[in-house]
Amino acid sequence: MTTADNPDPQAPGWDAFPAPDLALFEQLAHEAVVNLPQPWRDHATHVALRITDFPPDDVLEAMGMEDPYELTGLYEGTPLTEKSVMEQPTHPDIVWLFRRPILEEWIDRGDVGLGDLIAHVVVHELAHHFGWSDDDIARIDPWWE
């Protein structure tokens, strides 16, 4: 950082700030769930949140994707609209967030807060869990406003 950018040589520059880590992503994802309106909030707390840097290669391959930066999130589970009371789940439904692709989108956009972008990805992955329509998503996450 140049002196013009940081007039106080004793003040920390950008090099004092680490990149947002997995723990911060997890915190922001949980905040997104807590901020959902009822009744969605209570149901969303039963979906596990997992954060990792990139999607696994087998996931990309199964989705026909080559670039790991194309996938910011993924829902793993059976939507509520398709669950049967006769089914015994073997593990909780999961919303995966992929830190590096989200960071790349955040940087490319340059006009949205990281917490807002993470909330947007969380809501859209939860939409798969809830079986929401586009209108439902728009009411919960008015991303364009």
Q: Which sequence spans correspond to the domains of the chain? A: 18-79+89-140
Spatial contact of 137 and 88, defined as CB atoms under 8 Å apart: no
> Is there a cis peptide before residue 39, judged by omega within 30 degrees of 0?
yes
**Residues ≥6 apart with Cβ < 8 Å to 54:** 68, 98, 99, 100, 101
State how far the Cα of 112 lies from the Cα of 140, in Å rounded to an integer.
18
Q: pLDDT digit string (tens) for 32-47?
A: 999 998 888 998 999 9
Domain at 18-79+89-140: CATH architecture: 2-Layer Sandwich (3.30)
Q: pLDDT digit string (tens) for 107-133?
A: 999 999 999 999 999 999 999 998 887
State how far the Cα of 130 lies from the Cα of 95, in Å rounded to an integer.
12
